[in-house]
Structure 1
């Protein structure tokens, strides 16, 4: 009965209601006049007014335009760790002390969370992206499960991003290369818009292909790999009315590779042999957007996502079908302004193993969720005779999930994730904020129900052997949960800008694997409590054509039961950048420095490092753009906190021709 009521309420919320129209929201102009919807608020706002640390990378940044892998796109952001050895299939992310399960990854709003062994949990081609937002902090009140350390939102390019003023159609050919893996690739995009009897229609079709070989890591070590990637993006929309739009998209990814069984390991050996692997990912959505003005929007989407990992003797497939609605609305009450963000989601994910796949049980999980976030703004700045402008934010999300495997073992949980925040702006350009938020991660289907063989037994001597080791299901696993306090400031005056925050997190019921070699069992259990704390800071200076930036981050932690420090967090890291723009040739030259203190790297202690990158962006005319990036100029040997060897010296190149 409760489940039926929850689902019925969610479906009711998926039907938009006109309600009261409001005044126009202040907008942030990026490349068009459309407001920037900030991850972490789910509403359009000036990022400088958002009470969180937010990193935004757009397609004109050489970090995105030259990237062929997520490591090259996000690996330089302070506090964000990319695990693996450069192979796409081994990419996982960690943020603010939380690993792959505690960082939510979204691609055009669709959750990416397949989990199996040492393989990654998202697969995408950076050549198809127009923007990436990295929002740090506990955000389950808006996004539900996995958003404990933050949310990373990838948005693919649209026709409007490529069409120049006055154009109705065009094409773009982007060529790219990377010297560290002898990669060559190309992406062809065709796009346009036209008037029809039903309204203005637009569309984009992009096809990508790349081929790469063994990956050279820092210091000259090699990660064996032989990969080819095919990608496709088809997007279109129809303006059926001035305030209504229908849209559809299909994003396809397919990589065929020969690589070690564990793609996060550097080399192949007897226990980690090379194998052929095909990974495919499809994300499809149909949607409707109602937006009478920039103060009000409601968007409904039907989504389907499918990821499949095929090997000679094992197949793993996850399919996810979802219906979701999200909206925002601003109300003016005279002396009080109210901004609402709200939504509902229904979702079913299905895992299906094939052949000898292990650790990936046949199971389903159904999720239903409702959320509401209300921001109240009142007051006047000090220089206007007031005591400052205040924001009070109150929000909560209700999640219910029900998981069941093929043997009928069932797990049900409900989770409420509240969020409270207060911001004070004594002057325009200065904000102090503080807040409290709770977040969670639901157990994966593998953690709940895996019962296959984990690894084969072995004989350390002629007289004694260990038995085969099997997973033991644990359908009673509780979700991981966290409670976070975060306080910070944002300051902007003239050419200077500063944003910084400090956070303190208490996490409970961490899920870990308990391996009993003698008994031959492996079981997932809630075993740990942790205390995590740290800070993020961003400083910028932009006098005229010069832009300088400094980013700092550090995460520390300890086990709350034993008091022992936790490994694999984030050492003190700094990103220093300097760019100079020459207006007449439309040329930007830049330098990036990446620095970190000595830190634990897996089971060893790694020395600190200082890395230097050079980059160039040049657009000699409206039809030609080129970007170059030389990473790790001195080929410094360095290690990430998970113990993986960092990227080596590499020249990344992108050349785009548009007509």
Structure 2
């Protein structure tokens, strides 16, 4: 593979003033500590569809923003999320082969959203998330069963990526600016650049702002832990265009276009470590997400967002013997809003929304396992939170908050042969919180979630793989997919309880969950019959916990955090341990702020316990260490540096893939 010859980008957004947030500890914003538990706050979690801050949310939420070197120096999904406890990133570092798993659910059980647009193309071993980290402003990881708000796929949680806007880069009083960012990573021989221009203007007809960012990067073979190499030769072009017009004090129109195009030479299975040179193929991956929307905010306690979205992912392979193309296009409309009411002794927050979309799946050439089919989806959801009571210090029994929510989803799928699947699903959610003081919250709740079958699982009917002979007396015929339009959706029922607590400089969030999942969809292969079929084959019992501890002493220039996660499970029918689980994992870190906060030195430790992984035997544990630096050299010049896996320790992710190796990742940004 060739080495990188030119630059790959960090967006102009990636400058670093003093680092005041860590990947896990950001979820415990210091601003929230000063808010009254009874005051409605702006949405600190912009994609959680409920107007609350992270401390009062009855779930575990991690937030990673652009000020942290983990996001600033990331060139791919693994760099960005690979160290989050309990969040698995499968693959060997290739951008188009990375998928996520969370709380025992694989790629189809974790909903991924980019600027509110669902990302769910299903292409076998290929990934379903195509984005340039240089364009991101924030990443939010909400853990738990969230189908009552988000519908299908939100069984283990929701990962939301939010791209940067002009307001994120402009300083107070500025009306226009630009930024050039250079970024590189030694493990993938990657270099690149991103140029962005942004501005805002006050006009007689309202405020107008906009941003355009263009990035280019090239990379080579990917060095894995211990020195193994994953062959790759890739170039990435990215574009982000966003703008808004506040044509009235309480109304705003907005539009955006996020474009991704990667050309690569790699194995047919990008999750595979290596391949012979003659087995490599050229692959082009394109992703476009467009939206046009309207936001109405008549007062601080009311908001309604409506948007029209178009999402398209296209993957084209060029091999030595055949070409294959796969395209998923989704056109949708959605509206989400909330309203806060005060009724004397209690308050009421109402969130509601509706959405409808049509997805079209189109194969070309020799594409297999990706049938021509369409699916129409419509949904309504309503969530109500009632709050009442005074804290113990005020003579009351404590503050109680009762949340009730439900969402109805209906999907109708049909392939080119007229085979139909028509089903509906209600996803309820109940939660109760008790706050004896504004520094302590205890909560418990129940939620149901589901995952609709993919079009490939319902209708695939092409050849899966060619026949073969394993010896003179055993030969298997060609193997073909068999459609199963009667496939039922996966479902789950989850109980979760936890607490949030603050005391002085300390903050703790923790939860324990217990999930019963039914109708897991798996692939059944019959070699002698020459068939492969998706079927509802098993039920599971999953349980585990997440915990986050942060320490931020106001009198010292240091902060530290610890995040823990573990998932256990078994097959409810056989009693056997499941294979899609994670061991006890920990992310620890500390940051030292110097030079009046302009220079921050940080350490991150990633640890995992050894554990038995089903039939695959014992999975070894590991301990990894990263070092990082963030330096605001001048008001216009900033840099970030990260040394990952300092000792180049060999380690494996829960899915069995080799982890990332030692790498120097750097970012330099100049803004004017």
Output the CA distance in 2 between the equivalents of 1:35 and 1:614.
34
Deviation at 1:599, TM superposition (A): 2.8
2:606 aligns with 594
2:64 aligns with 57
Q: Summarize deviations over 1:301-354 as a string: whole Å, max 9, x none.
A: 000000000012100000000000000110000111101111000010000000
Output the CA distance in 2 between the equivalents of 1:605 and 1:259.
30
Q: Pick closer, same or farther for the CA change 1:40–1:51 going to 2, 3 Å.
A: farther
Structure 1 window deviating more from structure 2 (302-311 vs 620-629): it is 620-629
1:528 aligns with 538
2:167 to 160, 165, 169: 160
User: Equivalences for 1:42-191 in 2 at 5 Å?
Assistant: 42-191=49-198
2:625 aligns with 612
Q: Pick closer, same or farther for the CA change 1:589–1:48 going to 2, 3 Å.
A: same
1:343 is aligned to 2:353: yes
Output the CA distance in 2 between the equivalents of 1:71 and 1:318.
24
User: Equivalences for 1:510-529 in 2 at 5 Å?
Assistant: 510-529=520-539
1:288 aligns with 294
Output the CA distance in 1 between the equivalents of 2:55 and 2:83.
22
Deviation at 1:292, TM superposition (A): 1.4
Output the CA distance in 1 between the equivalents of 2:264 and 2:401.
51
User: Equivalences for 1:367-406 in 2 at 5 Å?
Assistant: 367-406=377-416
1:255 to 250, 262, 281: 262
1:479 is aligned to 2:479: no
Deviation at 1:425, TM superposition (A): 0.3
Deviation at 1:463, TM superposition (A): 4.6
Deviation at 1:600, TM superposition (A): 4.5
1:556 is aligned to 2:568: yes
1:631 is aligned to 2:638: no
Output the CA distance in 1 between the equivalents of 2:597 and 2:515.
49
Q: Pick closer, same or farther for the CA change 1:305–1:41 going to 2, 3 Å.
A: closer
User: Equivalences for 1:644-655 in 2 at 5 Å?
Assistant: 644-655=657-668
1:420 aligns with 430
2:244 to 237, 245, 268: 237
Q: Pick closer, same or farther for the CA change 1:333–1:341 going to 2, 3 Å.
A: same
- Unaligned segments of structure 2, at least 5 residues: 1-29, 35-39
Contact persistence 2:626–2:644 (CA under 8 A): yes
- Greater relative contact order (Cα 8 A, min sep 6): structure 1 or 2? 2
Q: Summarize deviations over 1:478-523 as a string: whole Å, max 9, x none.
A: 0000000000000012100000000000000000001000000000
Output the CA distance in 1 between the equivalents of 2:63 and 2:48.
14
1:303 to 306, 309, 315: 309
Contact persistence 1:585–1:620 (CA under 8 A): no
Q: Summarize deviations over 1:397-447 as a string: whole Å, max 9, x none.
A: 000000000000000010000000000000111000000000000000000
Structure 1 window deviating more from structure 2 (639-648 vs 44-53): it is 44-53
Deviation at 1:269, TM superposition (A): 3.9
Output the CA distance in 1 between the equivalents of 2:209 and 2:281.
42
Deviation at 1:585, TM superposition (A): 5.9
Q: Summarize deviations over 1:575-632 as a string: whole Å, max 9, x none.
A: 1101111143611111000110113468343211000000111112221111111000
2:25 aligns with none
Contact persistence 1:567–1:600 (CA under 8 A): no
Output the CA distance in 2 between the equivalents of 1:213 and 1:202.
37
Contact persistence 2:41–2:51 (CA under 8 A): no
1:446 aligns with 456
1:7 aligns with none
Deviation at 1:546, TM superposition (A): 1.0
SS in 2 for 1:43: coil
1:497 to 491, 502, 507: 507
1:566 aligns with 578
- Unaligned segments of structure 1, at least 5 residues: 1-25
Structure 1 window deviating more from structure 2 (583-592 vs 36-45): it is 36-45
Deviation at 1:389, TM superposition (A): 0.4
Structure 1 window deviating more from structure 2 (45-54 vs 401-410): it is 45-54
1:205 aligns with 212
1:16 aligns with none
Q: Summarize deviations over 1:269-292 as a string: whole Å, max 9, x none.
A: 49x921000000000000000001
SS in 2 for 1:369: strand
Corresponding pairs, count: 631
Structure 1 window deviating more from structure 2 (392-401 vs 189-198): it is 189-198
Output the CA distance in 2 between the equivalents of 1:29 and 1:558.
39
**TM-score of the superposition, structure 1-length normalised?**
0.94
2:3 aligns with none
Contact persistence 2:41–2:53 (CA under 8 A): no
Deviation at 1:40, TM superposition (A): 7.4
Output the CA distance in 2 between the equivalents of 1:459 and 1:609.
40
1:224 to 224, 231, 241: 231
1:579 aligns with 591
Contact persistence 1:27–1:36 (CA under 8 A): no
Output the CA distance in 1 between the equivalents of 2:248 and 2:526.
63
Deviation at 1:197, TM superposition (A): 3.8
Deviation at 1:123, TM superposition (A): 0.2
1:361 to 352, 371, 378: 371
Output the CA distance in 2 between the equivalents of 1:479 and 1:28.
39
Q: Summarize deviations over 1:151-198 as a string: whole Å, max 9, x none.
A: 000000000000001000000111100010110011111000112342
Q: Pick closer, same or farther for the CA change 1:585–1:397 going to 2, 3 Å.
A: closer
Q: Summarize deviations over 1:373-402 as a string: whole Å, max 9, x none.
A: 000000000000001000000000000000
Deviation at 1:293, TM superposition (A): 2.0
Output the CA distance in 2 between the equivalents of 1:320 and 1:600.
40
